[in-house]
Amino acid sequence: MIQLTQEQIDYTALTESVRSNQVGAVALFLGTVREVTHGRQTDSLDYQAYPEMAQKQLEKVEAETREQWPVEKMGIVHRLGHLDLGEISVAVAVSCPHRHQAFEAARYAIDRLKEVVPIWKKENWSDGTTEWVHPGSAESSSAVPPG
Amino acid sequence: MKVSVKLFARASELAGTNQLELQIPERSTIAGLRAEMLRSCPELSPLMESLHIAVGSEYASDDCYIEPDSEVACFPPVSGG
């Protein structure tokens, strides 16, 4: 299941949706809103997507993951809009026959998502300033690395 | 031909709009599109080297040609997750 949502991510339902009697391992990754990045205090984040392309690229991430590991079921959900500290921005759930496959597949999926899926976060810093996060962009010398 | 370019995140903020309407020659490449974007929207110049162009929801390299009626988008490096 691939989903972009404005609602809170129901990671319990997502995890249940990938469980199966055919496998022995389920890995769940959650990305959450961190309070401090390189010494700067975050108040909240705003996520924006290019939805049509994000959906298509997420489907490619799933296909690439399935090519490399024996994935039984997987789901990726990304939250959009305004998120407060501690809220879940992304969830990846994968089931595979064995644990090392599930861990590796989930890691590949989240790493690839962060490279290619057109979603952006804007930092709302506690000092009242805001900043789009664009890793490696020429503009911002203070660019915040992904994560 | 006319091409609409969707803008996102900092690119949209710098340009002050979420869509650019450009006129480019038939058989233009992505590189040609970039040049026209800079000419018509110089506010994007601080970002231009890092901007990605997507055509039909796929990343497009500078030597790709733009077909008429393609959906074109332009955005800075992604930061989801």
A72 lies in a domain? yes
Domain count, chain A: 1
Domain containing B50: what range? 2-75
Q: Which residues, in sequence order, are bridge partners of residue A132? A: A122
pLDDT of residue A142: 45
A26 lies in a domain? yes
**What tokens were used for B40?**
């018509």
B12 lies in a domain? yes
pLDDT in tens, A71-94: 999 999 999 999 999 999 999 999
A103 lies in a domain? yes
- Can you tell me the ipTM of this complex? 0.96
CATH of the domain at A73: 3.90.1170.40
Q: Can you tell me whether residue A63 is helix, strand or coil?
A: helix
Interface A:B, Cβ pairs < 8 A: 95
CB A53 within 8 A of CB B73: yes
- Report chain A residues whose CB lies below 8 A from the CB of B58: 53, 56
Domain containing A57: what range? 2-132
Selected residue of A83, A89, A114, A119 to mutate for chain B interface (largest B Cβ count, 10 A): A119
pLDDT in tens, A4-53: 999 999 999 999 999 999 999 999 999 999 999 999 999 999 999 999 99
Taking the C-alpha atoms of residue A105 and residue A69, their distance in angstroms, rounded to an integer, is: 6
Sign, Cα dihedral of A98, A100, A104, A106: positive
pLDDT in tens, B4-62: 999 999 999 999 999 999 999 999 999 999 999 999 999 999 998 999 999 999 999 99
Domain count, chain B: 1
User: Considering only residues 10 to 69 of chain B, which have any Cβ-Cβ distance to chain A shorter than 8 Å?
Assistant: 10, 13, 46-50, 54, 57-59
Taking the C-alpha atoms of residue A72 and residue A43, their distance in angstroms, rounded to an integer, is: 38
Q: CA separation (Å) from A84 to A37, B25, B57? A: 15, 46, 30
B81 lies in a domain? no
pLDDT of residue A95: 98
**What tokens were used for B45?**
């110049």
A54 lies in a domain? yes
